Structure 1
Amino acid sequence: MHDLNPFTSQRRRFASWCLPLFAWVICGAGPASSPTALERAIQANFLFKFAPFVEWPPDAFPAADRKFIICLVGEDPFGSLLEDVVRDQRMMGRPVVIRKVGGEGGPAGCHILFAGSSTETNYAPFTATEGQPVLTVADKAAGPGGAMIEFVRQNGRVRFQINDGAARAHGLRISSKLLGLAIMVDRK
């Protein structure tokens, strides 16, 4: 039997987002310089879970059959974790695809672009997204910044901070629910 109350489904979606976040914050991670397997599993889940809380402009999906593309810069830090998270999933009614980028072609067509801590402090792929509706996400250990969402370690836990101003400059709108979960929001 289906629940016809739209607020119930919204609460379920929000709970599906908050419960993993709660586990993430409680479990925490040590102050190690490189992410642990648990941290990578959490990052893989949240990389996918960030998307429903971001509004892309219509031109980000020029064709009705366009896939939702998550791109990884450099070496894949997740192994099969991210593939397992997105397997058989849809985002905004579209199949989700994982793509590795680098060299020619770069981040063209990406909706989310992730740079892990193993990526050199070269943020050229982020610069290449200038003016495009691409949500950039990074592990803060990867370098001096530049991503719209960055995973950071604070008090032995992994958290995230958001540069909402950069997201808006790229035509993206981040939900107030996601902004409320960030440890820091830069609105400039």
Structure 2
Amino acid sequence: MSRLVRMALLVLVTSGWTATTQLYSADEYAVKAGFLFRFVEFVTWPDTLETGGVCRIAVDDPGGRAVSTIAEVLNGKTAAGRLIEVVSMERAGSHEEVHILFVTRDAAPLSRETRDDLLRRNVLLVGETVEFARSQGVIGLTVRNDMPRLQINLEHAKRAGLVVSAKLSGVADIVRPRS
């Protein structure tokens, strides 16, 4: 990982961040890992994720590049008093043990049934396609003009029993579900 990316992650992870943090295409997933770290801090789960427990982040990544980069950056880190563990979707096992599912642009779209099941299980669904938050998940983390863009679907968050802090929703575009 380049020195520049490490410095960007250090700033992102240890200080406040804004939606204007610049992404570097070669290390895009390292920067997105920093956002996933912050989501652990700025989203409140019901009793399914206790302080002092493990926050399991599953990455749906058919190519494997994203999961290895995100795991390298986040495994063993602690956010909001929770140890972070990153696994591939294949290794995640039961959805009951997943707190965040990051769906890469190379992954197949979630079926409505899968989405509904994950939301019932209080899983924060994060994806990187333009319409992800509107059609499938809670947070869309996309890149436009080399800048990260956050989209948050508060209705999907509510269905999942999740509370998104004002700090996070204040830097995002709020979207509504597709009818």
Q: Which bracket does the TM-score occupy, shorter chain normalised?
A: 0.7 to 0.9
Deviations 1:36-73 (A, max 9, x none): 32322221211111110001112x137x8641101112
Listed as ranges, the gaps of 5+ residues in structure 2 are 1-10
SS in structure 2 opposite 1:129?
Answer: helix
- Partners of 2:168 and 2:92 lie apart in 1 by 33
How many aligned residue pairs are there? 164
**Inter-CA distance 51–103: structure 2 relative to 1 (3 Å threshold):** closer
**Inter-CA distance 40–145: structure 2 relative to 1 (3 Å threshold):** farther
Identical counterparts, % of pairs: 25
- Greater C-alpha radius of gyration: 1
Find the counterpart in structure 1 of residue 15 from structure 2. 16
Listed as ranges, the gaps of 5+ residues in structure 1 are 1-11, 30-35
Are 1:37 and 2:32 an aligned pair? no
**Inter-CA distance 42–13: structure 2 relative to 1 (3 Å threshold):** closer
For 1:150-161, what aligned pairs fall within 5 Å after superposition?
Answer: 150-161=140-151
- Partners of 2:65 and 2:13 lie apart in 1 by 27
SS in structure 1 opposite 2:135?
Answer: coil
Find the counterpart in structure 1 of residue 37 from structure 2. 48
- Partners of 2:165 and 2:52 lie apart in 1 by 25
Alpha-carbon RMSD: 3.2
Q: 2:108 aligns with which of 120, 133, 141?
A: 120
Deviations 1:80-112 (A, max 9, x none): 321232243113323211122249945221111
- Is the contact made by 2:139 and 2:151 (CA closer than 8 Å) also made in structure 1? yes
Amino acid at match of 2:79: M
Q: 1:84 aligns with which of 66, 72, 81?
A: 72
For 1:127-166, what aligned pairs fall within 5 Å after superposition?
Answer: 127-140=116-129, 145-166=135-156
When the two structures are superposed, what TM-score results if normalisation uses the length of structure 2? 0.74
When the two structures are superposed, what TM-score results if normalisation uses the length of structure 1? 0.71
**Inter-CA distance 37–176: structure 2 relative to 1 (3 Å threshold):** same
- Partners of 2:85 and 2:91 lie apart in 1 by 19
**Inter-CA distance 26–67: structure 2 relative to 1 (3 Å threshold):** closer
4+ runs deviating over 4 angstroms: 12-15, 141-144
